[in-house]
């Protein structure tokens, strides 16, 4: 009952601590067009290869498109429900983990409240929560649920949950798979079943064959190469990819998870609170830090696969276990009482409400708690008009238009665009050709604020584009206007 009563407040607090839910924001600049292309293959005739370069690595676009067809829901509404569902999944997983490791339901409530406190996993390009639906967040929820299954001795269930996560966001699932595999192996050995070593050896051999296929003939083929200077130059703003370039403070913060986990684990041992599968759980989690360290030379050598796996994101998993442990230390510790757990839960809930209120009222007063669709402003109306143009029309916009206006042309207008500077560069991490395409188009466009009518016409001819959206007055045929935004025909 306590969990059921907590679920809706949990989702709301996650949203307000993330500055509200927003359709089409940030990484949805990639995921939404991938789904739109599945729903309508006539879309994105120019940008299809760019979109497919990352989309082929997951099944999220196929899955969301299938759900849209099955339910008849519009994509904005469906993604809002998936956002709520991913948070509900995280809450359920956290509750089950808490019920395995804590004595009090109030401590479990404190954990839920702590998880609403959105924060960055430093210099990993990841936040503990997002203000929009992200497959990474959904995969993390399935991974956390797999940890809960492991704590209950349900290894097959844990493996199945990680497999589901892998279809949604493979790199997130990978680290949960390592965590669970190490923990399961340790539990197997501790359980006196080491004589059946052949089972472990068989599983390891099958895993090795699967990995070999992935990197030789599967989706990861061709990635065991060094990234050349031209390719790396396109990633100069993606400093989270290269941990050896982190400042010392970032190293200190991320590595601090390790002593926190070890200290609280030792505290739990002294308090007699450690459960049977817990030592292996801790070892499995800390093995991720070892993998991070072992991967550093390959990252330093700029091996493409080592960069693309974004191995620093293992600290997100350490963040989860550290949060679980810190909440226990505060709410229960060696002398647990119901009143203590209730007080800690109340304090964390109040802190989350206060922080969420500050974020919404002071940090982002212009935002609603939830924006389900494209905002009805000048940009939204312009993109609504864009959707009435031919499906194969192509557009020129400010390379930073997704940041400036909140959504991209591909998301809000469902049309090709010359370049979307931030996300196209990020996609280029996975494909050198995409990286060079983005670089060349940014160079061809130059300073957007100084774009002339003649140069716009030339770009339209060079890249087979039809419209330019800008706030600047230009000597071009006006096709549409809303507020300060003008859409010009290029041919």
Which pLDDT value is given to residue 419?
Answer: 96
* Residue linked to tokens 């399935």: 142
- Min mean pLDDT across 73-82, 213-222, 449-458 is at 213-222
SS (H, E, C) 303-315: EHHHHHCCHHHHH
- Give the CA count within 13 Å in the CB-facing half-sphere of 427: 30
Which pLDDT value is given to residue 449?
Answer: 94
The arithmetic mean of pLDDT across residues 54-65, rounded, is 92
Which pLDDT value is given to residue 216?
Answer: 65
Which pLDDT value is given to residue 229?
Answer: 95
Is the model's pLDDT at 194 over the cut of 60? Answer: no
Neighbour tally for 16: CB within 10 Å: 25
pLDDT tens figures, 347-403: 999 999 999 999 999 999 999 999 999 999 999 999 999 999 999 999 999 999 999
Q: Where are the domains of the chain?
A: 2-363, 378-489
**DSSP-derived secondary structure letter, 419:** -
The chain-wide mean pLDDT, for the chain, equals 93
Q: 362: burial class by Cβ within 10 Å (0-12, 13-18, 19+)? A: exposed
Q: Which of 277, 265, 74, 67 is nearest to 185 (CA)?
A: 277
> Measured between alpha carbons, how far is 106 from 443 in angstroms, rounded to an integer?
57
Q: Which of 102-116, 189-203, 223-237 has the highest mean pLDDT?
A: 102-116
Tokens of 104: 């009090």
Is the model's pLDDT at 39 over the cut of 90? Answer: yes
Is the model's pLDDT at 68 over the cut of 90? Answer: yes
Is the model's pLDDT at 5 over the cut of 80? Answer: yes
| 325-330 contacts, C-beta under 8 A, 24 or more apart | 325/260, 325/261, 325/264, 325/265, 325/268, 326/114, 326/260, 326/264, 327/107, 327/110, 327/111, 327/114, 328/101, 328/102, 328/107, 328/264, 328/268, 328/273, 329/264, 329/267, 330/110
The arithmetic mean of pLDDT across residues 185-210, rounded, is 65
**For residue 332, what are the CA distances in angstroms to 4, 192, 322, 425?**
22, 32, 15, 47
**DSSP-derived secondary structure letter, 226:** B
The sign one gets for the Cα dihedral 324, 325, 330, 333 is positive
Which pLDDT value is given to residue 210?
Answer: 65
**Helix-strand-coil percent breakdown of the chain, rounded to 5?**
65, 5, 30
SS (H, E, C) 58-78: CCHHHHHHHHHHHHCCCHHHH
The residues pairing with 468 across neighbouring beta strands, listed in sequence order, are 396, 488
Which pLDDT value is given to residue 213?
Answer: 66
The arithmetic mean of pLDDT across residues 70-85, rounded, is 97
pLDDT tens figures, 278-320: 999 999 999 999 999 999 999 999 999 999 999 999 999 999 9
**DSSP-derived secondary structure letter, 20:** S
Which pLDDT value is given to residue 206?
Answer: 64
DSSP states along 307-337: HHTTGGGHHHHHHHHHHHHHHHHHHTTTS--
* Residue linked to tokens 């429900």: 81
pLDDT tens figures, 12-21: 999 999 999 9
- Min mean pLDDT across 98-112, 136-150, 229-243, 341-355 is at 229-243
pLDDT tens figures, 218-253: 666 667 899 999 999 999 888 889 999 999 999 999
370 three-state secondary structure: strand
Neighbour tally for 101: CB within 10 Å: 25
Helix (H) or strand (E) holding 468: strand 467-470
Phi/psi of residue 343, each to 5°? -65, -45
Tokens of 278: 């817990």
This prediction's pTM:
0.94
Pairing of strands 394-396, 370-371: unpaired
Which pLDDT value is given to residue 57?
Answer: 86
């Amino acid at each position: 009952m306590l969990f059921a009563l907590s679920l809706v407040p949990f989702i709301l607090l996650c949203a307000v601590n993330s500055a509200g839910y927003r359709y089409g924001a940030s990484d949805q600049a990639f995921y939404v067009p991938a789904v739109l292309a599945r729903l309508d293959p006539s879309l994105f005739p120019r940008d299809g290869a760019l979109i497919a370069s990352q989309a082929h690595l997951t099944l999220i676009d196929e899955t969301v498109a299938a759900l849209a067809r099955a339910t008849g829901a519009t994509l904005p509404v469906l993604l809002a429900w998936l956002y709520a569902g991913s948070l509900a999944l995280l809450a359920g997983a956290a509750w089950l983990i808490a019920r395995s490791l804590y004595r009090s339901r109030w401590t479990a409530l404190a954990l839920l409240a702590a998880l609403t406190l959105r924060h960055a996993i430093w210099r990993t390009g990841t936040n503990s929560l997002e203000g929009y639906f992200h497959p990474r967040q959904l995969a993390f929820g399935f991974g956390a649920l797999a940890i809960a299954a492991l704590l209950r001795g349900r290894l097959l269930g844990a493996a199945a949950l990680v497999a589901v996560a892998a279809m949604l966001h493979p790199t997130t699932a990978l680290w949960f798979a390592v965590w669970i595999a190490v923990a399961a192996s340790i539990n197997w050995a501790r359980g006196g079943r080491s004589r059946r070593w052949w089972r472990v050896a068989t599983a390891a051999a099958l895993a090795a064959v699967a990995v070999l296929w992935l990197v030789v003939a599967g989706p990861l083929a061709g990635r065991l190469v060094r990234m050349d200077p031209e390719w790396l130059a396109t990633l100069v703003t993606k400093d989270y990819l290269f941990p050896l370039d982190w400042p010392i403070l970032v190293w200190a913060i991320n590595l601090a998870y390790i002593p926190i986990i070890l200290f609280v684990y030792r505290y739990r041992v002294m308090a007699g609170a450690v459960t049977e599968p817990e030592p292996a759980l801790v070892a499995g989690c800390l093995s991720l830090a070892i993998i991070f360290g072992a991967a550093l030379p390959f990252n330093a050598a700029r091996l493409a696969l080592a960069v693309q796996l974004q191995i620093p994101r293992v600290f997100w998993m350490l963040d989860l276990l550290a949060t679980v442990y810190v909440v226990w230390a505060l709410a229960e510790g060696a002398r647990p009482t119901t009143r203590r757990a209730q007080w800690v839960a109340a304090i964390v809930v109040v802190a989350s409400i206060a922080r969420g209120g500050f974020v919404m009222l002071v940090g982002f007063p212009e935002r609603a708690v939830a924006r389900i669709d494209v905002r009805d402003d000048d940009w939204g109306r312009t993109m609504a008009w864009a959707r009435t143009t031919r499906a194969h029309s192509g557009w020129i916009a400010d390379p930073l238009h997704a940041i400036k206006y909140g959504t991209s042309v591909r998301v809000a207008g469902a049309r090709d665009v010359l370049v979307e500077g931030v996300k196209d560069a990020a996609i280029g991490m996975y494909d050198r050709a995409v990286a060079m395409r983005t670089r060349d188009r940014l160079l061809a466009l130059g300073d957007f604020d100084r774009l002339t009518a003649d140069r716009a016409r030339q770009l339209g001819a060079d890249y087979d584009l039809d419209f330019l959206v800008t706030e600047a007055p230009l000597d071009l045929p006006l096709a549409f206007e809303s507020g300060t935004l003008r859409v010009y025909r290029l041919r």
